[in-house]
Amino acid sequence: MDLQGTSFIGAGRGSGGAGESRAVNPVSGEGMEPAYLAEGEESVEAVCSLAAAAFLDFRERSGVEKAVFLRAIADEVDVLEEEIVSRMTTETGLPEGRCRMEKGRTCGQLRLFASLLEEGSWVDARIDHADPDRAPVAKPDCRSMWRPMGPVVVFCASNFPLAYSVAGGDTASALASGCPVIVKAHGSHPGTAEIVATAVRIAVEKCGMHEGVFSMLYGSGRTIGQSLVRHPVVRAVGFTGSRNGGRALMDAAAARPEPIPVWAEMSAINPVFVLPGALRERGDAIAEGFVGSLTLGVGQFCTNPGLLIAGGEGRSQFAERIASLAGEAAPAAMLHKGIAEAYQDALKVMMTKEGVETLAQVPVQDGSSQGGAVVLGAHAAGFLSDQSMAEEMFGPATLIVSADDEAAMLEVAESLEGQLTATVHATEEDLEMFGKLIAVLERKAGRLVYNGFPTGVEVCDGMVHGGPAPATSDGRSTSVGPRAITRFTRLVCWQDFPDSLLPPELQEENPLKISRIVDGKRN
């Protein structure tokens, strides 16, 4: 594909005017062509105006029409797979297999939401019929369902150039709900973004959608990103990235005259608890699986385990085994130099803390974008006395905390911030002795993993990828799976409306044949 290096403003392309930048190959350190032109305030106004106009049409499209659109996007991404993989591997340093896997997940998400729309019951339609004879006050007819909020801004994630970017989960769920999407491209993989945006634009045209249903801008998150969040047309935001970045967007959204929700995934260390019986019975296997989870993707998954709490005899030998395995893991290029530098900075801070011992450290070349595995150790008492030990080191680093008994483990668990995941390795006997731990972790994390490892997020109906702050800005939802659609909707009730003015989902004869709650009963 002949990349142009310009934004997508509806059916047109941008012209820049606010600077330019290039992607950098993290392996070679070389800049890549073409230069990508940053847009200014004029383009923000243009895409927001287009999205507002598109919303009036798109919100009224049937579930079947929107499903056709989502499937068309997936089909066009499939067509461009080779171009995507070629550019993505060069921009990110990710292996080809990972890129193809992420492409498959991206298309799978789009098709999953298409199936949700075709079935139609996701709107949670509820009907309470009128009772004019009820005393002392007549009962009105009330009908409600989820409805789209309006244009959504989606920020591409640096660590998922496809699955959490241009046509990723936030975009798929926002479009599925009936909301136009404005994407803010990420500066570390702009070419990948341009190819995928081209696929989306082709689908927009093929399906006869309003041009404003999708746009994508290049530019700084601190300028153009903040401008998009503050624009009065925008109704919600989807973000995956750092805690500082997420907080900045949340603050900007909250400061608006009319605040809007920011669905931000920001920070997690995904604790793994290894109880005494499990350690005794299968410590070596747990150590091997843990190191594989820790180093997967050079530790750049949001679910990599950055904390392990071990209890029982043999804790020291277990930690040494993890350190030995991690020390054998070869360093690899991280997604871009900024991430690599932030990782090294976090390590320097953590390794100088009182009570923290370095058990293993894979050396990396100075000034490179490489990340090497690091295993640190501490005792529960020290960890509890310094809460900064629980801060995220985004990369293949973990802190092993030694806990003497159930009380120490519970104290560590209670001290933790909100997490995406919490894992427990246990036997049945362990759970009898440590029964309170699961209840504590349920309050701390969005997904509990038993005798497994947190990396790998299945895209399915039952998945929850979210958690209490700071894992996400709002732990009441998920960014993965069909339930993600409700993040970009709001409930609307129609009281005493004639049938002809009701949405099809709420009409008396149920023309769409969806599941509904009618007078308190599901049918």
The pLDDT assigned to 248 comes to 96
**Model confidence over 386-443: pLDDT tens digits?**
999 999 999 999 999 999 999 999 999 999 999 999 999 999 999 888 889 999 999 9
Tokens (6 digits) for 117: 């729309």
Q: What is the mean pLDDT of the chain?
A: 97
Cα angle, residue 103 at apex, residues 101 and 106 outer, rounded to 5°: 110
CA–CA separation, 362 and 342 (whole Å): 17
Q: Is the pLDDT of residue 312 over 90?
A: no
**Mean per-residue pLDDT, 372-380:** 98
User: pLDDT category, 518, cuts 50, 70, 90?
Assistant: very high
Per-residue confidence band for 3, with pLDDT thresholds at 50, 70 and 90:
very high
DSSP state of 321: H
179 is an active site residue: no
Q: Is 514:521 a contact under the CB 8 Å cutoff?
A: no
The reported pLDDT for the residue numbered 42 is: 97
pLDDT band with cut points at 50, 70 and 90 for residue 221: confident
Average pLDDT value for residue range 345-368: 95
Residue 435 is predicted with a pLDDT of: 83
Mean pLDDT of all residues in 184-200: 98
Catalytic residue among 48, 211, 302, 505: 302
Distances (CA, A) of 290 to 97, 285, 302, 406: 21, 8, 15, 22
Question: If you search the block for the tokens 């099809």, which residue do you land on?
Answer: 504
Burial 102-135 (b: 16+ CB within 10 A, else e): bbebbbebbbbbbebbeebebbbbbbbeeeeeee
Q: What does the pLDDT read at residue 425?
A: 97
Lookup result for tokens 């990828």: 465
Q: Is the pLDDT of residue 367 over 90?
A: no
Q: What tens digit of pLDDT does each residue of 64-103 get? A: 999 999 999 999 999 999 999 999 999 999 999 999 999 9
Residues 309-322, buried b or exposed e (16+ Cβ, 10 A)?
bbbbeebeebbbbb
Beta bridge partners of 181: 152, 214
Q: Is the pLDDT of residue 222 over 90?
A: no
pTM, whole model, 2 decimals?
0.96
pLDDT of residue 433: 83
Known catalytic residue at 391: no
Distance between CA atoms of residues 176 and 173, nearest Å: 5
- Which member of 76, 211, 265, 392 is catalytic? 265
